[in-house]
Amino acid sequence: MRKRRIVLLLSLLTIPFAVRAQIPDSLAIQQMVAILDTLDTPPDFRAEPGEFRQGQGVGVDTLDIQDGRLLLVLRDDHTWSYIKNFEKIAQDSTFTQDWIPNSTNPYKTPLDSLPLRNSICLVDSTSSFVCPNQTKVFSRFGIRRGRRHQGVDLPLRTGTPVYAAFDGRVRASMYSSGYGNLVIIRHENGLETYYGHLSKREVEVGDWVHAGDEIGLGGSTGRSTGPHLHFETRYQGFAFDPEWIADYETGQLRANVFVLRRSYLNANSRYVPESIDEEEEIYATDEQIIEEEKRIAAEQAAIRYHTVKSGDTLSAIAKREGKSINAIKNLNPGLNPDKIRIGQKIRVN
């Protein structure tokens, strides 16, 4: 269905756009003529949507789709591909809120305000994962010699290229005493990845990178005992074990969609290969927390206020609500019963 629509778009839009583009060189004109020739024979042109395969030809035009976040590139060999429109994506709140260049943690969200479970899309048809440095994990996430270790250590030889794990925008490219040369990339799904101890940084703040782009060279700068990549994954500034999302020895992502539990955002919470039992146990605990949160929400929903009107006294308000003055005072810490004023909101339930 989608392909048929693309064919229709192509047939309707290629000519005017190609003409409007006014490409000056002769090769481009030849290419344009080739397209025009095809359009002169509509039956062939429209015959098989399958002709319009994803391809490598020279782009002749782009069309906005999906809110402009994706561009459909039409190529001169009658192929097409999607590319991300980073200009549009840059306007997302993910890239405008809490965006402080070269801050190691720009977020101020309290942990308990984050959802218990959050499904995070890691890869889709337009984005992929590339292991930043494929090797066995040398030092894991968690408490190490009494200190928090907020990532995994992936050994390498100094000078080995380090790759962006996902598409995203560089939020930090800086030197810090702990991380040494550090690159932080923010991704469209809200995650941030940290790449520490680099011998060289090859990206600047604001750069857009694709998964697999070289962002620097591995090294041992900062607080490090030997060349390795210190790799962190964070959500709202809270680090979680990077092994939840990928196996760094095989370089494979564990799943396309990652269910981030709030409990993972804790210094002691390590990746555990999930068995059905564990899964059920964690699930049961979460259900209890959800029930508790529902109860609190219901309580909060039941809260009512009375706005003081002319002639109101606290005892009259209490009487109307069928409550004692003390009960009203308990609901309103700091309330002075002798000094209520018109317009004041007094909690009555």
**CB of residue 222 to Zn ion, shortest distance in Å:** 10
Residues 6+ apart with CB under 8 A from 109: 236, 237
B/e letters for 171-188, b = 16+ CB within 10 Å, e = fewer, are bbbbeeeebbbbbbbbbb
> Which CB, 106 or 151, lies closer to Zn ion?
151
Q: Which stretch binds Zn ion (CB under 5 A): 81-89, 200-208, 229-237, 265-273?
A: 229-237
Residue nearest to Zn ion (CB): 230
**CB of residue 104 to Zn ion, shortest distance in Å:** 14
Q: How many residues does the chain have?
A: 349
> Which CB, 153 or 241, lies closer to Zn ion?
153
> Which CB, 68 or 178, lies closer to Zn ion?
178
**CB of residue 248 to Zn ion, shortest distance in Å:** 13
> Which CB, 75 or 230, lies closer to Zn ion?
230
Strands (E), 151-283: 152-155, 161-163, 168-176, 180-186, 191-198, 200-201, 208-209, 214-217, 228-235, 238-240, 246-247, 252-253, 257-261
**CB of residue 156 to Zn ion, shortest distance in Å:** 12
Query: Which residue in 69, 186, 230, 261 binds Zn ion (CB under 5 A)?
Result: 230
**CB of residue 201 to Zn ion, shortest distance in Å:** 17
> Which CB, 76 or 232, lies closer to Zn ion?
232
Q: Which stretch binds Zn ion (CB under 5 A): 53-61, 73-81, 187-195, 224-232?
A: 224-232
> Does 243 participate in binding Zn ion (rule CB under 5 A)?
no
> Which CB, 45 or 231, lies closer to Zn ion?
231
Identity at 323, one-letter amino acid code: K
285 vs 306: CA distance, rounded Å = 38
> Minimal CA–CA distance to 229: which of 186, 181, 262, 265?
181
**CB of residue 153 to Zn ion, shortest distance in Å:** 4
**CB of residue 269 to Zn ion, shortest distance in Å:** 17
Q: Torsions phi, psi of 214, nearest 5?
A: -75, 125
**CB of residue 258 to Zn ion, shortest distance in Å:** 21
Residue 205 contacts residue 101 (beta carbons within 8 Å) = yes
Q: Which stretch binds Zn ion (CB under 5 A): 98-106, 201-209, 228-236, 312-320?
A: 228-236
> Which CB, 126 or 224, lies closer to Zn ion?
224
> Which CB, 88 or 140, lies closer to Zn ion?
140
* Sheet hosting strand 59-65, strand order edge to edge: 59-65, 70-75, 80-84
Taking the CB of residue 92, how many other CB atoms lie within 10 A of it?
Answer: 12
Rounded to whole angstroms, what are the CA distances from 173 to 58, 59, 132, 223, 234?
33, 32, 16, 17, 16
Residue numbers 99-138 binding Zn ion by CB under 5 A: none
Residue numbers 131-160 binding Zn ion by CB under 5 A: 153
Tokens of 40: 């002169």
> Which CB, 127 or 224, lies closer to Zn ion?
224
**CB of residue 139 to Zn ion, shortest distance in Å:** 6
Number of residues that bind Zn ion (CB under 5 A): 2
Residue 255 contacts residue 246 (beta carbons within 8 Å) = no
> Minimal CA–CA distance to 195: which of 177, 210, 173?
173
Which residue ranges make up the site for Zn ion (CB under 5 A)? Answer: 153, 230
